[in-house]
């Protein structure tokens, strides 16, 4: 079993969640000191996770975990999808001005595009990949739900205030970290990957 793993993400929300998912495990996680500014030019979540993990593995020489995730809305032909973190700046659907934060601009654009759409099903997906000894091992996790008409809650990050997971009457941003970890795409993918690595 691995003892130390580099977690290659610049997203503070992801860092917080991944730290809490590994808390209590016998694995030490470390974060890179510098951002390598890896271009996520892949055509899929899996390819982007691979590109990020491999770049950090080459730079640091440690087994490296990277994760690529996003929100998939079938009524928007799968968007924001692999563009989830920078949906606001995509030409498609019109650019959204960033006033408070990129996360808020992404949400504003999503709600604008979905204003008259009744079919609101969506899911989060995460591909978590560990790169070591020149090989990548990965797992996928999904979390199904619906897109709300207005943001609710202060927790989480990204699209959480407008995502209501199946079986809940609250948005993801209204759940505790512990509740989110149990149902989240990231929590499921990491759990599956740890089983594979064992
Ligand atoms: P790294 O590449 O450095 O990990 P990033 O934010 O660019 O950071 P991604 O390219 O994987 O990461 O984009 C993921 C985006 O998907 C993220 O910025 C959110 O907008 C959205 N997202 C993913 N998981 C989420 C979650 O649990 N809650 C809310 N939004 C999420």
Residues 109-128: tens digit of each pLDDT = 999 999 999 999 999 999 99
pLDDT number for residue 56: 96
Q: For residue 27, what pLDDT is reported? A: 87
pLDDT of residue 167 exceeding 80, the answer is yes
**Nearest CA, atom 4, ligand 1:** 9
pLDDT digits (tens, 9 = 90+) for 34-66: 899 999 999 999 999 999 999 999 999 999 999
pLDDT tier for residue 159 given thresholds of 50, 70 and 90: very high
Predicted local distance difference test score (pLDDT) of residue 197 = 84
Cα→Cα distances 135→53, 58, 132, Å: 10, 12, 5
pLDDT at 1: 61
Is 160 part of the annotated catalytic residue set? no
Per-residue buried b or exposed e for 40-58, using 16+ beta carbons within 10 Å of the residue's own CB: eeeeebbbbbbbbbbbbbe
Q: Which of 11, 90, 176 to mutate to test the pocket of ligand 1 (most atoms within 8 A of CB)?
A: 11
Q: Whose CA is nearest to atom 8 of ligand 1?
A: 11
Provide residues with CB under 6 Å of ligand 1.
9-11, 14, 40, 52, 67-71, 84-85, 106, 124, 156-160, 184, 186
> Average pLDDT for residues 74-98, to the nearest whole number?
98
Determine the average pLDDT of the residues in 6-10.
95
pLDDT at residue 145, rounded to an integer: 98
**Confidence class of residue 154 from pLDDT cuts 50, 70 and 90?**
very high
Band the pLDDT of 71: cuts 50, 70, 90: very high
């Amino acid at each position: 079993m691995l003892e130390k793993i580099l977690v290659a993400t610049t997203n503070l929300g992801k860092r917080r969640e991944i730290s809490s998912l590994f808390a209590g495990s016998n694995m030490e996680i470390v974060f890179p000191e510098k951002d390598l500014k890896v271009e996520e030019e892949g055509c899929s979540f899996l390819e982007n996770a691979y590109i990020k993990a491999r770049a950090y593995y080459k730079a640091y020489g440690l087994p490296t975990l990277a994760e690529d995730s996003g929100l998939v809305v079938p009524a928007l032909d799968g968007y924001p999808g692999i563009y989830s973190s920078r949906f606001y700046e995509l030409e498609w659907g019109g650019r959204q001005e960033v006033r408070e934060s990129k996360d808020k601009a992404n949400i504003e654009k999503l709600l604008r595009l979905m204003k008259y759409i009744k079919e609101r099903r969506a899911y989060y997906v995460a591909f978590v990949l560990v790169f070591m000894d020149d090989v990548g091992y990965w797992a996928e996790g999904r979390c199904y739900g619906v897109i709300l008409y207005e943001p609710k809650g202060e927790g989480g990050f990204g699209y959480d205030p407008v995502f209501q997971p199946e079986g809940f009457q609250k948005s993801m941003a209204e759940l505790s970290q512990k509740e989110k970890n149990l149902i989240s795409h990231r929590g499921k993918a990491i759990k599956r990957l740890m089983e594979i690595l064992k």
